[in-house]
Amino acid sequence: ATPSLESLHNAHSGRYALLKLTERAGGAQPPRFLRLDIKSRPLDSGISGPLQQAMAQTLAAGQQVLVFLNRRGFAPSMLCHDCGWIGQCPRCDARMTLHQRHNELRCHHCGHAERPPHSCPDCAKLDLRPVGAGTERAEERLTTLFPDYPVLRIDRDSTSRKGSMEHLLTTINRGEPCLLVGTQMLAKGHHFPRVTLVAILDADGGLFSADFRASERMAQLIVQVAGRAGRAEEPGKVIIQTHLADHPLLVQLAEQGYFAFAEQALSERRAAGLPPFSHLALLRAEATKPGQAEDFLDEACSQAEQLMVQLDLTGVELLGPVPAPMERRAGRFRAQLLLQANARGPLHNLMNAWLPQVETLPGSRSVRWSLDVDPIDLF
């Protein structure tokens, strides 16, 4: 089980009762974690040489391999090798993902899709290349590396047709050696007794993100995916490919488990004054024209500052307004204003007085806005 850091903090504070699962179902042994440092190693569609060898050994022993990559499509972007053009969504501040099987570039944020260009739109050269690896590309490469074994891809694209997921699960449950490639759809709720090797191709994204909850989500996903390994008599092994093999959070997760990771992450949150040791509210706004959302949030911020003086409220900090991390999404321009407080009382007192005034602001008619208390993410 991978409870959130907020839930663990509530358990430590006596608000929740903490119940731990001390052993796996059926007496299965927990999998062994290995951190594979891929710095300076050549990668073949995101797969290192040592990982290929481990896969080959597992398949030769008649067992199954699960390859986890939380990125759909063939490649995260398409790039011109001559001028550096990258396929951007015309409606979002995001790159479009190449889906080779459907021959389209698709935005995973707004759904916009178009055919890949035959030549570069900027320089007209023909050297357009897929950059990075998604589940389609991993599937294609594994099929070439291991031609004698089925490679089964499980993601939203491959299971969209009625009955497709059931067909894939039937094939897996026959118990014959095969490779499963998939996204977080594979992480929970499945029992694959013949899977003894789980390969996590890229664990670094959660360690670099601007979202303070990203490392927590990364750890939860790793533990949940790892839970697919060694669920029967055969022991399981989890190989985590990373450029940051010595990162303290990753070391604790691999060597001491999720709860040790969580304690380390909680101590970092406490030092930084982040939830659950502070309380947040996020006023989001979006509009069809640039600047409209920020103008509205400027008005709202001024109202909040005046109310804090009138109500003699302290301990609440207003941060912003600023553009959202993805400023343009589905053709709309987005911005946000963050409120942070050490205690809930002053924050809620401010919001109770502030919200009715925000509703009457002149700018509220030209934007869509929402107030999110205890936001799960800041995007």
pLDDT, tens only, 21-64: 777 666 667 788 999 999 888 888 889 999 999 999 999 999 99
Residue 72: pLDDT band (50, 70, 90) is confident
For the segment 311-339, the average pLDDT, to the nearest whole number, is 93
Lowest mean pLDDT among 29-33, 78-82, 316-320, 326-330: 29-33
Residue 184: per-residue pLDDT? 82
- In the prediction, which pLDDT does 122 show? 93
What percent of the chain shows pLDDT beyond 90? 58
d(CA 143, CA 320): 49
> So what's the pLDDT on residue 288?
94
- Return mean pLDDT, the chain: 89
pLDDT of residue 25: 64
Q: For position 203, what pLDDT does the model report?
A: 84
Residue 69 token pair? 């990559």
Q: What is the pLDDT of residues 227-285, one digit of tens each?
A: 877 666 777 899 999 998 999 889 999 999 899 999 999 999 999 999 999 999 999 99
Instruction: Provide the 10 A C-beta neighbour count for residue 119.
Output: 12
pLDDT at 154 (0 to 100): 86
- Residue among 129, 149, 155, 163 nearest 58 (CA): 149
pLDDT for 26: 61
Does the structure show a pLDDT above 80 at 15?
yes
Give dist(CA 91, CA 96) in Å, integer.
11
Partners of residue 77 on adjacent β-strands:
131
Contact between 107 and 89 (Cβ < 8 Å): yes
Whole-model pTM over 0.85: no
Q: How many residues does the chain have?
A: 379
Average pLDDT for 333-352? 95
**What pLDDT is attached to residue 323?**
94
> Within 10 Å of residue 173's Cβ, how many Cβ atoms?
13
- pLDDT at residue number 117: 94
- pLDDT at residue 147 is higher than 90: yes
**Mean pLDDT, to the nearest integer, of 130-151?**
89
Measured distance CA(266)–CA(117) in Å, rounded: 47
**Cα-to-chain-centroid distance, residue 248:** 20
Domains of the chain: 23-73+133-272 (3.40.50.300), 279-373 (3.30.70.600)
Residue with tokens 């343009």: 328
Which pLDDT belongs to residue 24? 67
Q: Are strands 179-182 and 151-154 parallel, antiparallel or unpaired?
A: parallel
pLDDT attached to residue 166? 85
Q: Which two tokens stand for residue 263?
A: 């304690």
Q: Note the pLDDT tens digit of each residue in 196-232.
A: 999 998 888 778 777 889 889 999 988 888 887 766 6
Gyration radius of the chain's alpha carbons:
24
